[in-house]
Amino acid sequence: MIIKVDHLTKYYKIHQKEPGFMGSLRSLVNRKYYDARAVEDVSFTIDEGELVGFIGPNGAGKTTTLKCLSGLLYPTSGNVEVLGFNPFERKHDFLKKISLVMGQKNQLWWDLPAMDSFLLNKEIYEVSDSSYKKTIGELIDLLDVKDIVNVQVRKLSLGQRMKCELIAALIHEPKVLFLDEPTIGLDVVMQQNLRDFVKEYNKKFDATIILTSHYMRDVEQLCKRIIMIDHGKVLYDGNLSEIVKKYATHKELRIVFQKPIEKRELARLGKITEMNGTRVVISVERTKSNHVAAEILKKYDIEDFNIEEAGIEEIIRDVFSNKNK
């Protein structure tokens, strides 16, 4: 077992200020604090080589958990163990084996070319010359950044910078990798490149990876197992494929009619989620879907017809919105 999280809880002390100028004055004398519960009683374990997707809406506690796992935050209560270490102690032996990459912020020296930051990281992680040369060569090839590593980081585009960030984080070939929104702000092609890269890295080094993302595609393509978290609590922990079985209550019928049909007429079959001329999407309960499909095929002239599982994105949206009620 590589990662063990046991009843992890993290509260932030937040200073509450009433709005407006008077509120500012009042808060000068009388400060009110409250505990923001970022993560509450979260437990899970992750084995070596697993690639786990961590999903949840904004402010669900994903990043906080990752920060606890990488030793940045001091847990309010509960235990965290990564590679047999207590992360918060930040032993150098531990730090040499992990990496945390955040899509939102950079570790590269802003005013110097990325190559200088790589070299610095090489020294920091005490990577030998030969293995540095090998790794950096591979990474540069894999991410196709040969032309930009010698350009001042501030002059790079977001996507180029992200690639360099990733290289900087991987020079020491970490065994455990935390990726927080690695695809944020990247174009579709770059997103795909990055995904392929993460997959490859996972396989090649048998690295354990936790990935958070807003883009369900990332998770869908990369992770077998997902942990869903909201309001600091774990909602679901298990295989991605099972979540579909468990939560997908509806199927989608995608139909193209030969002639436009009245909306009212179709509405009694199921929930119309999309209607555009002769193109219609109807959401129907799973158990009834075959029955409804047969009825439609019998009754109308059809040009094209498809039955699909609801998209993973919709299922997850459903799960989160139901739990919030």
**Is position 111 an interface residue for another protein (rule: CB under 8 A)?**
yes
The region of 89-97, 137-145, 261-269, 305-313 touching another protein under the rule CB under 8 A is: 89-97
**Is position 95 an interface residue for another protein (rule: CB under 8 A)?**
yes
**Is position 305 an interface residue for another protein (rule: CB under 8 A)?**
no
**Is position 158 an interface residue for another protein (rule: CB under 8 A)?**
no
The binder of another protein chosen from 81, 85, 86, 112 (CB under 8 A): 112
User: Which distant-in-sequence residues (6+ apart) come within 8 Å of 301 by Cβ?
Assistant: 257, 258, 259
CB nearer to another protein: pick between 14 and 294: 14
In single-letter form, the type of residue at position 234 comes to V
* Closest among 249, 321, 261, 244 to 295, alpha carbons compared: 261
Binding mask 44-83 for another protein (x = CB under 8 A): -------------------x---x--xxxxx---------
Per the listing, tokens 């090489």 go with 122
Binding mask 178-217 for another protein (x = CB under 8 A): ----------------------------------------
Sheet holding 77-82, edge to edge: 32-46, 3-16, 77-82
DSSP string, 247-303: H--EEEEEEEESS---HHHHHTTSEEEEEETTEEEEEEEGGGHHHHHHHHHHHS-EE
CB nearer to another protein: pick between 104 and 287: 104
Per the listing, tokens 């579709």 go with 188
The region of 51-59, 98-106, 200-208, 297-305 touching another protein under the rule CB under 8 A is: 98-106
- For residues 200 and 194, the answer to whether their CB atoms sit within 8 Å is no
The region of 122-130, 207-215, 217-225, 308-316 touching another protein under the rule CB under 8 A is: 122-130
CB nearer to another protein: pick between 212 and 283: 212
Strands 208-212 and 51-55: parallel
CB of 80 to another protein, least distance (A): 14
**Is position 133 an interface residue for another protein (rule: CB under 8 A)?**
no
In single-letter form, the type of residue at position 202 comes to N
Binding-residue total with another protein (CB under 8 A): 33
Q: What is the end-to-end Cα distance of the chain in Å, rounded?
A: 35
The binder of another protein chosen from 123, 147, 262, 301 (CB under 8 A): 123
- For residues 78 and 6, the answer to whether their CB atoms sit within 8 Å is yes
**Is position 85 an interface residue for another protein (rule: CB under 8 A)?**
no
CB of 261 to another protein, least distance (A): 53
**Is position 13 an interface residue for another protein (rule: CB under 8 A)?**
yes
**Is position 105 an interface residue for another protein (rule: CB under 8 A)?**
yes
CB of 103 to another protein, least distance (A): 10
- For residues 168 and 117, the answer to whether their CB atoms sit within 8 Å is yes
User: Which distant-in-sequence residues (6+ apart) come within 8 Å of 69 by Cβ?
Assistant: 3, 5, 80, 82, 87, 178, 210
Q: For the chain, what percentages of helix, strand and coil (3-state, to nearest 5) are there?
A: 40, 30, 30
**Is position 34 an interface residue for another protein (rule: CB under 8 A)?**
no
The region of 117-125, 200-208, 230-238, 315-323 touching another protein under the rule CB under 8 A is: 117-125
* Closest among 268, 289, 288, 271 to 280, alpha carbons compared: 271
Where along the sequence are the contacts to another protein (CB under 8 A)?
12-13, 63, 67, 70-74, 90, 92-93, 95-96, 98-100, 102, 104-105, 107, 109, 111-112, 116, 119-121, 123-126, 152
